[in-house]
Structure 1
Amino acid sequence: MSSIEVAQIAHRFVDVNGVQVFYREAGPRNAPVLLLLHGFPSASHQFRRLFDVLGTRYRLIAPDYPGFGHTRAPADFDYTFDRLADVIEGFVRAIGLDRYALYTFDFGGPVGLRLAQRRPEAVAGLIVQNANAYAEGLSDLAQGMVANRPGVDGAEDRVREILVLPVTRGQYEDGTTDPALVSPDNWTLDQHFLDQPGRKQAQVSLALDYHSNVALYPRWQRWLAEHRPPALILWGRNDAFFPEAGAHAYRRDLPDAEVHVFDTGHFALEERLPEIAPLIGDFLTRTWKGPCLKLAVIGASGNLGGAAVREAEARGHRVTALRRADVDVTDPAAIERAVAGHDAVIVSVKGPDRLVPRAARALLEALPSSGVPRLIFLGGGGSLTSPSGQRFVDLPAFPAQYRETALDQAAALDLLRAAGAAVEWTYVSPPPVHLVPGDKTGEYRAEAQDSPVLDATGESRVTVGDYASAVIDAAERRTFVRQRFTVGY
């Protein structure tokens, strides 16, 4: 008998702060992970066929949001998109996911992009299927729905008009080329859940909050442009809510994104699964492996340089560890000989006689002639600005023993910012005080800004392990090009 692979799908609940989140899971635990975020008015069941096709080779996980499917939320749950993202973030932590490709569809777009902003280090890749993040991706019909918000006369009644079976069915069939390929089980099950007690009010609350997503479009676009996750854009061109222009708009911020548009409607998987599933599988395989980079680390014997070496090697990159005896970091010719043939150079140096800015100047001269396009400069946190608007290094309380190095690191940043376009530099600042010993947790945030990343208590803090992880993230993803970014919890 021939061998036939069939996905074994588990159906589970996990408690997230009082919300009983239902989710489906299939696939080997050591396989590439795809976190699937469903749309309106559906739930994780919309991915059933995709689980059957890909669930033997990849680890697929699909939760139901509060107010959808089998997930059970308390009676006083506040149905906003921020709260949906809170629950999904808690869900990801509860089941121990620290890295995944993210599939966003419809409502999965605003939920997923909130999650990605909060945990950028976890996103190995982005699959977008009719999940809009651009103004041109909103049809007149969608803009009319966005206009419904609390306090607008008749808004709630207009939302309730779409929570009925003919509209639910239409979301599946409209725009398809062959409605016979769409199972009626879809809209029947969706309407069953919509008709459960309290569910329509939950959907009304979310619909009246949808305008908050459009307000966040510029922020999400900046995140995409800065982080440049590998991206696969899949779109049904006949979508009544999100027209085709929304698919192509992603290329503005993700110029390397792969875009595929299909002659179908909103729920593109229903009619085009045979074409879409192989694209998803190929993308997951490519993205999860990632390219093996050849990295030269100057200052590899130091605390931060050594941490960067360990993190890069743990991810499978080829690392040339360069110490003081291996290269004179102030000599462009010596740098060129040492780093030629590498994909990127990571530099962590300090010393007397303005060594840091002299090194920055030499690197800017050497890298173009060596053929290395990328420079990641591990700088200091002293040049970050305090709440008073002053740099931390200029404050009287700044430790005197670190002031010279901090000023040198600030001068190096000025040199990089004044450089032309020949080198794709990135300057990485730790917190101004609390860069502490410790392993990688994967919970850090990396932001392109000149002030520290603060936690809920107002403190800026990160471990050396997480700092090094953020450095290698930037090398892998080519993010924060010609920018300074900083890291914290």
Structure 2
Amino acid sequence: MTVAPVPQVEHRFVDVAGVQVFYRATGPANAPTMMLLHGFPSASHQFRRLMDALGTGYRLIAPDYPGFGHTEAPDGFTYSFEALADIIEGFVRKLGLRRFVLYAFDFGGPVGFRLATRHPDWIAGLVIQNANAYDEGLSPIARELIANRPGVDGAEERVRAILTLPVTRSQYDGGVTDPALIAPDGWTLDQHFLDRPGRKDAQVDLTLDYHSNVTRYPTWQTYLRTHQPPSLVVWGRNDAFFTEAGAHAYRRDLPDAELHLFDTGHFALEEKLPEIAPLIAGFLDRVWPVAPMKIAVIGATGQLGRVVAAEATARGHHVTPLHRDAVDVTDPVSVTAAVSGHDAVVVAVKGPDRLVPRGAQALLDALPAAGVDRLVFLGGGGSLEYAPGLRFVDGPDFPAQYVQTARDQAEALDILRAASTAVRWSYVSPPPIHLVPGDRTGTYRTAAGDTPIVDASGDSRVTTGDYASAVLDALESGSFVQQRFTVGY
């Protein structure tokens, strides 16, 4: 008899802003990565069977939130969904995750959608399992519970009444087809953690804050509609809290989402893991860029081209560095010969005699002939706007030595935007002034548009390492097509 391989699952803690976050992790480090966000009143242990099922071929990471499972928060921690998202955001950064598929279940929806709206570039795809983001998905029971909020008479008492073993158990076996398939371990362990000192107080605070999630539904829907993350929706249709209508509602903003409904309850994995796990595996295989790309970097000896080429190589892609002796970026024939056979081209050039805009036009002419449909053009930040219609390059304080280069780069952007082309181009702008030497930190943000990304102090800044990482993220995810996007902290 052949025994199927069983993965090793690690159990670790990491300090995030004084919170000792417990997490489970399994799978090869270079495999497609999925972060599993659990629901109420559970913790990462709810994913144990899924990790056993998929952990040999995929990297799965499942943290416990503050107030749940084995995670320990300091005295005085403020329990809100914003605070949970802050801790999970810090957790992602501590682990150095660049990109992952997000599994959102129940409370994992409010936590995960906050994360996705803050860092859309982190999200390679969504697996949504009974995690609601639409008003029609709220059952009458859910609406009654959400009506409890600070200042409402009897709200705390009503919330405490649901933190009991019978109610915890009902979330597992309510709505299932075959109760014999539901292990009692889940609700028993959940209640054990609920009964620990201070845990019910934390759950009261979170439940009284749940209304803050409903007010964010339009924001999350805008994120889905704008970014169109590849999505798999799996749903227990007999959920007492989140109705089947909430599953169908995702197709309104994600028309290409894959939707599967199951005759089971809230904790759908408990009964339907054999059906759901293969769906997740197939989805991960489809959305994750497993195969290395062949990337030609024109201008690979310059400051930015060199850093981008190094980042691409570090990620396992096959890089062809092209300098001016190997290719004339203004000559379509030369470009075609140099980049033929590649999957993508990255361009980082500057020079006299309108070299940059002439190069942009030559690339649009050459790439279809070379059979290359992906282009990332490293442009300048000078054409970004500090006010509507007012570009930095045209301001009195813009450094005089960079004015002509910035205007050439702006003209290249105009050429790309005006082109009717099959080339899937992206134009990447760094901050207008402060693109500084430095390593990748993983904390950068990206956004499509013509204004720079600024930090809390109003400064627009990023390191060359983070800029290069953003370029590769866009290449790997296929994002920001026919768009200019910016990078910053």
TM-score by length of 1: 0.87
Higher mean alpha-carbon deviation, 309-318 vs 285-294, is at 285-294
Offset of 1:213 from its aligned partner?
2.4
Contact 2:124 2:477 in 1 (8 A): no
Offset of 1:107 from its aligned partner?
0.8
Match of 2:351 in 1: 351
Count of aligned pairs? 489
Match of 1:428 in 2: 428
Match of 1:168 in 2: 168
C-alpha separation between the residues in 2 aligned to 1:375 and 1:52?
Answer: 40
5 Å matches for 1:286-301? Answer: 290-301=290-301
CA shift digits 1:13-41 (9 cap, x unpaired): 44333323333344555655433211011
Aligned CA distance change for structure 1 residues 136 and 404 (closer, same or farther; 3 Å): farther
Match of 2:77 in 1: 77
Contact 2:27 2:57 in 1 (8 A): yes
CA shift digits 1:150-188 (9 cap, x unpaired): 344554454344333333222222222112211223223
CA root-mean-square deviation: 3.2
Supply the AA of the counterpart residue of 1:50: L
Match of 2:194 in 1: 194
Long gaps (5+) in structure 2: none
Match of 1:185 in 2: 185
Offset of 1:380 from its aligned partner?
0.7
Higher mean alpha-carbon deviation, 350-359 vs 320-329, is at 320-329
C-alpha separation between the residues in 2 aligned to 1:317 and 1:95?
Answer: 22
Long gaps (5+) in structure 1: none
Offset of 1:428 from its aligned partner?
0.7
Aligned CA distance change for structure 1 residues 150 and 414 (closer, same or farther; 3 Å): farther
Offset of 1:390 from its aligned partner?
3.4
Aligned residues: percent identity? 70
Aligned CA distance change for structure 1 residues 17 and 238 (closer, same or farther; 3 Å): same
Mapped pair 1:448 → 2:448: yes
Match of 2:412 in 1: 412
5 Å matches for 1:31-110? Answer: 32-110=32-110
C-alpha separation between the residues in 2 aligned to 1:245 and 1:297?
Answer: 48
Contact 1:228 1:478 in 2 (8 A): no
Higher mean alpha-carbon deviation, 170-179 vs 226-235, is at 226-235
Offset of 1:110 from its aligned partner?
1.9
5 Å matches for 1:47-446? Answer: 47-152=47-152, 155-224=155-224, 229-251=229-251, 257-284=257-284, 290-332=290-332, 334-336=334-336, 338-368=338-368, 371-386=371-386, 390-420=390-420, 422-446=422-446
Aligned CA distance change for structure 1 residues 245 and 322 (closer, same or farther; 3 Å): farther
C-alpha separation between the residues in 2 aligned to 1:451 and 1:375?
Answer: 22
C-alpha separation between the residues in 1 aligned to 2:421 and 2:251?
Answer: 22
Supply the AA of the counterpart residue of 2:295: L
Supply the AA of the counterpart residue of 2:274: P
C-alpha separation between the residues in 1 aligned to 2:136 and 2:266?
Answer: 16
C-alpha separation between the residues in 2 aligned to 1:158 and 1:436?
Answer: 54
Higher mean alpha-carbon deviation, 384-393 vs 82-91, is at 384-393
3-state SS in 2 of match to 1:386: strand
CA shift digits 1:220-242 (9 cap, x unpaired): 44544565555433222332333
3-state SS in 1 of match to 2:412: helix
Offset of 1:82 from its aligned partner?
1.1
Contact 2:93 2:443 in 1 (8 A): no
C-alpha separation between the residues in 1 aligned to 2:57 and 2:367?
Answer: 41
C-alpha separation between the residues in 1 aligned to 2:28 and 2:327?
Answer: 45
Supply the AA of the counterpart residue of 2:403: R
C-alpha separation between the residues in 1 aligned to 2:256 and 2:323?
Answer: 35
3-state SS in 2 of match to 1:361: helix
C-alpha separation between the residues in 2 aligned to 1:371 and 1:446?
Answer: 28
CA shift digits 1:194-246 (9 cap, x unpaired): 33343333222212322332333444445445655554332223323333444
CA shift digits 1:390-442 (9 cap, x unpaired): 32212211100001111222222233333446443321101111212223232
Offset of 1:149 from its aligned partner?
3.4
C-alpha separation between the residues in 2 aligned to 1:208 and 1:219?
Answer: 20
Match of 1:460 in 2: 460
3-state SS in 1 of match to 2:386: coil
C-alpha separation between the residues in 1 aligned to 2:241 and 2:463?
Answer: 44
Contact 1:137 1:244 in 2 (8 A): yes
Supply the AA of the counterpart residue of 1:216: R
